[in-house]
Amino acid sequence: MLPPNLRPISVDDHIIEPPNVWVDRLPRKWQDVGPRIVEVEDASGKNDGQARQAWRWEGRIYKNVGLNAVAGRPRRTWGLDPVRYDEMIPGCYDVKARVTDMDKDGVQASLNFPTFPRFAGTLFLEGEDKDLALACVQAYNDWHIDEWCGYAPDRFIPMVILPLWDADLAAAEIRRTHDRGALAITFPEMLSSLGLPSIHTDYWDPVFAAAQELGMPLSMHFGTSATVPMPSSDSPIPVSFALYGCNSMYATADLLFSKILQRFPGTKVSLAEGGTGWVPWLLERLDYTWDRHRHYTDIPQDTPPSETFKKNIWVCHIEDATGVELRSEIGVDKMMWECDYPHSDSLWPKSQESLLKTLADVPTTEVQAIVEDNARKLFNFDADLRKVG
């Protein structure tokens, strides 16, 4: 039995940004070139000739309006991304409806990744006008803090995106938004594939320094590196879904064999949508590799990677019986739960059923840690305090 007073916190959900985010907040001079929703022809023919909606920004058209926002839709239709707002349930983009949907699922609080800006805000790297791009980043963050999380501060953990083309600007945005209430940063799981310097350089030191100083976790969602697991060029899409965790393994190994967690030992990294059951295997493998290969390579020399993991990295799962079985090897204090609303991986509105099934044999204090307390502690998110204050 789950504790009756359990208030699950999901550390991985998604917002479909409503059309007004940038229209409302950008200065008049950027109204036309800034992101706005437009109606476009649907050339795919999949949608019965109905016009689709898309984002337009600096004249470019982005058609991923409803990327994988399939919650509440019949499974047989899942192959098609929703192409119009009216094809999605309102909880995707309307915060009031979202809270209702969280209530239906028994979810107390939620950490939300953006969609149009991509899960780690990497879209804005494409901006030709970097002043506009910075304004777009800030508009998203302000909207997210004020309108989304601000609607119900005890239900949402504010998480911000960064102007990734400039590490100093990014650090400044961390400080600016932390002052406004932000508690977390969404950051790419890997950087090279985005054309950015990797964590093996000192380029990101201003970001890691600010995050460490302010105690803000870097939440690294699967897929934010612009790469997805695809063993064959024609692999069916479920192959990629099943292998999401490999990206999290890549990020984990890269972090633990970098020097950045030595320079910033207070760094907190939360891996999203990668699962947890692979962790003991990878930590053992990392230690084996470290033991044999550190002497002739430029990796941390003094601390085994499994120890660094225990200090710096958190993981989560939707449903992962293997992870639950191996929780003492992963670290019960490093595991969290995610709902993944409104994506196809989510069990919404049956999360409680899943939690009851997979945590049935777990002691109550450990359930409490995994489902709620670890997230509160990691993100410095105390709903009761926030309500009072």
Stretch of 117-125, 306-314, 316-324, 373-381 contacting a second copy, by CB under 8 A: 316-324
Total number of residues binding a second copy (CB under 8 A)?
65
User: Residue 20 phi/psi, 5° resolution?
Assistant: -85, -5
With binding defined as CB under 8 A, does residue 190 bind a second copy? yes
Among 54, 133, 286, 315, binds a second copy (CB under 8 A): 286
In this structure, are residues 204 and 235 in contact, taking their beta carbons and an 8 Å threshold?
no
Residues linked to residue 317 through DSSP beta bridges, in sequence order: 337
Burial class (CB in 10 A: 0-12, 13-18, 19+), 147: middle
37/256 with CB nearer a second copy: 256
**∠276-281-283 over CA atoms, to 5°?**
90
Quickly tell me which residue has 């105690």 as its tokens: 215
Tell me which residues in 53-92 interact with a second copy (CB under 8 A): 75-79
Distance CA 226, CA 91 (A): 26
* Structure tokens given for 10: 């999901």
Least Å distance, CB 46 to a second copy, is: 12
With binding defined as CB under 8 A, does residue 41 bind a second copy? no
Least Å distance, CB 45 to a second copy, is: 17
Distance CA 206, CA 201 (A): 12
With binding defined as CB under 8 A, does residue 231 bind a second copy? yes
Work out the number of other CB atoms within 10 angstroms of the CB of residue 94.
18
With binding defined as CB under 8 A, does residue 290 bind a second copy? yes
Least Å distance, CB 354 to a second copy, is: 10
344/352 with CB nearer a second copy: 344
Distance CA 270, CA 156 (A): 16
With binding defined as CB under 8 A, does residue 313 bind a second copy? no
Distance CA 189, CA 327 (A): 23
Among 137, 251, 378, 383, binds a second copy (CB under 8 A): 251
54/282 with CB nearer a second copy: 282
Tell me which residues in 111-170 interact with a second copy (CB under 8 A): none
With binding defined as CB under 8 A, does residue 331 bind a second copy? no
How many residues in total does the chain contain?
389
With binding defined as CB under 8 A, does residue 18 bind a second copy? no
31/235 with CB nearer a second copy: 235
97/242 with CB nearer a second copy: 242
Write out the E strands in the chain.
9-14, 36-40, 52-57, 60-62, 109-113, 156-157, 159-160, 184-186, 218-221, 269-272, 313-317, 335-337
Distance CA 240, CA 74 (A): 21
With binding defined as CB under 8 A, does residue 236 bind a second copy? yes
Stretch of 42-50, 81-89, 322-330, 374-382 contacting a second copy, by CB under 8 A: 322-330
Stretch of 28-36, 81-89, 290-298, 333-341 contacting a second copy, by CB under 8 A: 290-298
Among 322, 352, 368, 380, binds a second copy (CB under 8 A): 322
Based on its alpha-carbon atoms, the radius of gyration of the chain, rounded to whole angstroms, reads: 20
**Closest alpha carbon to 223 in 62, 114, 339:** 114
With binding defined as CB under 8 A, does residue 319 bind a second copy? yes
In this structure, are residues 118 and 42 in contact, taking their beta carbons and an 8 Å threshold?
no
Work out the number of other CB atoms within 10 angstroms of the CB of residue 201.
13
Stretch of 51-59, 101-109, 216-224, 285-293 contacting a second copy, by CB under 8 A: 285-293
Task: Name the residues that contact a second copy, by CB under 8 A.
Answer: 75-79, 190-192, 198-201, 225, 229, 231-239, 241-243, 245-246, 249-251, 253-254, 257-258, 275-278, 280-282, 284-286, 288-290, 292-299, 319-323, 326, 329, 344-345
